[in-house]
Structure 1
Amino acid sequence: MDQSTTLDIEALKMTQEQYILASQSIHLQRPGCVAVYPVGLYGWRKRCLYFFLLLLLVIMIVNLALTVWIIKVMNFTVNGMGDLQVSRDGIRLEGISEFLLPLYVNEIQSRKDSPLVLRAESNVTLNARNSQGQLTGQLTVDAEAVEVQCQRLEVRSSNSERLLFSATEEQVSIGTDKLTVTGAEGAVFGHSVETPLIQAVASQDLKLESPTRTLTMEAPRGVEVSARTGGLKALCRKDLHLQSTEGEIFLDADAIRLETLPLGTYAASSGPSSSSPRTQKVYEVCVCPSGKLYLSPAESSSTCQAVSNICLWS
C-alpha cells in the first residue's frame, strides 16, 4: 500500500467514544467564524435625530407658553371663561355677546334689572322646530316689517290668563273689552264684519261707509240704529232698503222729515179739488204698492190712489 491509503484509513478510524460525544453535544456551537455588525446611529443620522428632538422640545415650550397666555388673556376659570359663566342652570353672559353662527337654546332670559336686547345688522330670526327638525314657527324682525309664520298667533295679558288677540287661518279673535281705531281713515274691512256693537268715541261721530259697493246690516233678531245726543243720517246713491221679514219697522223720533218727495195728482170723484197747489199747505204721505212714497193734497178723507201718476210710473 502506498502512503495515501494508510492516511485515509487512519483518518476514518474514530473511536466509539468520540462519536457518542460528538452526537450528544448538540447544544455546543460549532466552531466557526461569526460576522460582527455595529449597532447604533453614527454620523449625519445622529446629528439629524438630535436636531429633530431639539426642534420638538422648542415647539412644546412655545405651545405651552401660548396656552398659558390664552388662559391668562381669556380669563379661563373653573366656572367659565371671562364674562361667560357656566353653571348647572345654564350659561350666563355679562355684557354684549356676538354670535356668528346659529344659536340653539331652550330659554333666553335677561337679568331682573335690565332688558333683553337682540341686535343684528340685517334681521333677527327666531325659529322653532319639532323633534324631526321641521320648521313649526318663525319670527322675523327686519327694517321693513315683522313677520310671523305659525299655525296660531296669541297675545295674552300680563298674567297670561286672558286672551287679548288670536289669529289663525280661519279667523281672528279680539278678546279686549273695547277695540279703538285711532286712524284718520278709520278701519277698512274687505269682507263682512260680525260684532254685537259698533260705537263711536264720546263727542265724535260714527260713520259707516262703503264708497264703491253696498253697505248691508243684518241680524237674526233685529238691527237697532240709535243716536242719543246727535242726528242720524243715511245717504245712498241709488236705493235705501229697510226690510223686516217677520216684524215691523219703527221710526221713533220727535220729528221725521221726508224731504223732496214727489207730488202726486189727485183726481177727486166729485169734481176738482177745492184747493189749488198754490194755496195747498197740508199734504198727505202716500205709499204706492211698489213701496214708493209721494205727497198728495190732504182732504177730509184720504187722497192716496193706486192709480196716481207716481205709482204708475214707478
Structure 2
Amino acid sequence: MSSSESPRGSVGIYGWRKRCLYLLIVVLVAVVIVNLSLTLWLLKVMQFSSDGMGKLKIVEDGLQLRGRAMVLDALVASTIRSRPGAPISVDSSHNFSISARDHMGRTVSKLLLGSDHLECLARGFRVTDSKGEVLFSATRSEVEVGANSLRVTGGAVFEGSVQTPVVRADSGFDLRLEAPTRSLQVKAPQGVAIESRAGDISASCLTDLKLQSVAGTVRLEAANVFLPGLREAGKGGAPSGRVSQDVYQLCACANGRIFLAQPDAVCAADSDVCR
C-alpha cells in the first residue's frame, strides 16, 4: 500500500442503535395495524356506509332516521316530520319546549310543555280545523270562539264584555248571570229575548231594577201579574157599606210610582208615597 492512499471507514448504524431502530419500526407498524383494526371495527359497529350511519341516512333534502334518537342538547331544524303513515312522538323527562326566533336571534314564539302546565308565548294563539276555519283565537285584545257553541261546565268569570248571540244552559240545569259588585248590562242592536221553556225567570238586585224602552213599550203579558209589597196610601173618608179588605185600587203618581188605595177611598196620596 502506498503512503498516498487515505484509510476508508464504513458508514452505518450498528449495535444497539440498529436494534432500537428496528424496535421502533415494529412498534409503529403494530400501532398502525391496531388503529386500522379499530377503525374497521367502528365502521362495522356504527354501520357506516355511503348513505349515512346506521339508521341515520343522508337523503336529498336532509337526514332520515329510522328508530329512536336521544338529543342531549338543543336541536335546530327547519322541518321535522315522520314517515307517511307513521306517527311521531317526542318524550322528555323534565319539560319540552319549541321556540321560533327572528333574524336577530330573539325569541318571538315559544311553546313550553312542563310536568304540570302548558305555556304558550306568542302574539296570538289560533286553533283551526282541517278546513282552515278558526275554532279558537286569542290575542291581547280579544278572544274569539269560532265553533257553533261554547260549553262551560263549571261556570266562567269575565272581567270585560262578552259578545254572543245565545246564552243558554243545558237541559235540566239553571242559567245564572250575576254581577256580585257591579251592574249587569245586556244589549243588542235589534232585540233581547229572555226565555225559559220549563222553569221560572228571576231577576234580583240590591237597589233598582230598571226596564226602559226608548221608542217602544214595556209589556207584561201573563194570566196573572203579581205586584206584592206596594205601598198603601192613607185611608180616605168613612167606608160606605161592606167592602172586602182583599181588594185595593191601583193608583199611580205623577212620577210613575204605583201605590195601593182603599177600594172606597179617593185615589190620592200624600207626598210620602209619591216622593
TM over 0.5: yes
Preserved CA contact (<8 Å) 1:265 1:308? no
From 121, 132, 135, the counterpart of 1:164: 135
Distance verdict in 2 for CA 1:51–1:253, change over 3 Å? farther
What secondary structure, in the 3-state scheme, does the structure 1 residue paired with 2:127 have? strand
Aligned residues between the structures = 272
Matched residue, 1:284: 249
Distance verdict in 2 for CA 1:227–1:285, change over 3 Å? farther
Distance verdict in 2 for CA 1:43–1:207, change over 3 Å? same
From 263, 267, 270, the counterpart of 1:303: 267
Amino acid at match of 1:239: D
What secondary structure, in the 3-state scheme, does the structure 2 residue paired with 1:68 have? helix
State how far apart, in whole Å, the 2-side matches of 1:173 and 1:190 are: 15
User: Under a length normalisation based on structure 2, what TM-score does the superposition of the two structures give?
Assistant: 0.84
Does 1:209 find its partner at 2:181?
no
What secondary structure, in the 3-state scheme, does the structure 2 residue paired with 1:86 have? strand
User: Under a length normalisation based on structure 1, what TM-score does the superposition of the two structures give?
Assistant: 0.74
Identity of aligned residues (%): 38
Q: How does 1:178-217 map onto structure 2 within 5 Å?
A: 178-183=149-154, 186-217=155-186
From 26, 30, 43, the counterpart of 1:71: 43
Does 1:252 find its partner at 2:221?
yes
State how far apart, in whole Å, the 1-side matches of 2:7 and 2:122 are: 88
Unaligned runs of at least 5 residues, structure 2: none
Preserved CA contact (<8 Å) 2:112 2:120? yes
Does 1:177 find its partner at 2:141?
no
Preserved CA contact (<8 Å) 2:233 2:259? yes
Q: Flag the structure with larger Rg.
A: 1
What secondary structure, in the 3-state scheme, does the structure 2 residue paired with 1:147 have? strand
Q: How does 1:108-187 map onto structure 2 within 5 Å?
A: 108-159=80-131, 161-183=132-154, 186-187=155-156
Amino acid at match of 1:174: V
Preserved CA contact (<8 Å) 1:125 1:141? yes
Distance verdict in 2 for CA 1:294–1:47, change over 3 Å? farther
Q: Tell which deviates more after alignment, 284-293 or 200-209.
A: 284-293
Unaligned runs of at least 5 residues, structure 1: 1-32
State how far apart, in whole Å, the 2-side matches of 1:50 and 1:283 are: 135
Q: Tell which deviates more after alignment, 39-48 or 225-234.
A: 39-48
Amino acid at match of 2:260: L
Query: Which string of whole-angstrom CA distances, capped at 9 and with x for unpartnered residues, describes residues 191-226 of structure 1?
Result: 222222212223432111223333222334443322
Preserved CA contact (<8 Å) 2:136 2:144? yes
Preserved CA contact (<8 Å) 2:112 2:118? yes
Amino acid at match of 1:272: A
Distance verdict in 2 for CA 1:40–1:182, change over 3 Å? farther
RMSD, aligned α-carbons: 3.1
Preserved CA contact (<8 Å) 2:240 2:264? no
Determine which structure has greater relative contact order: mean sequence separation of CA pairs < 8 Å that are 6+ residues apart, divided by chain length: 2
State how far apart, in whole Å, the 1-side matches of 2:203 and 2:112 are: 45
Preserved CA contact (<8 Å) 1:199 1:206? yes
Distance verdict in 2 for CA 1:293–1:94, change over 3 Å? farther
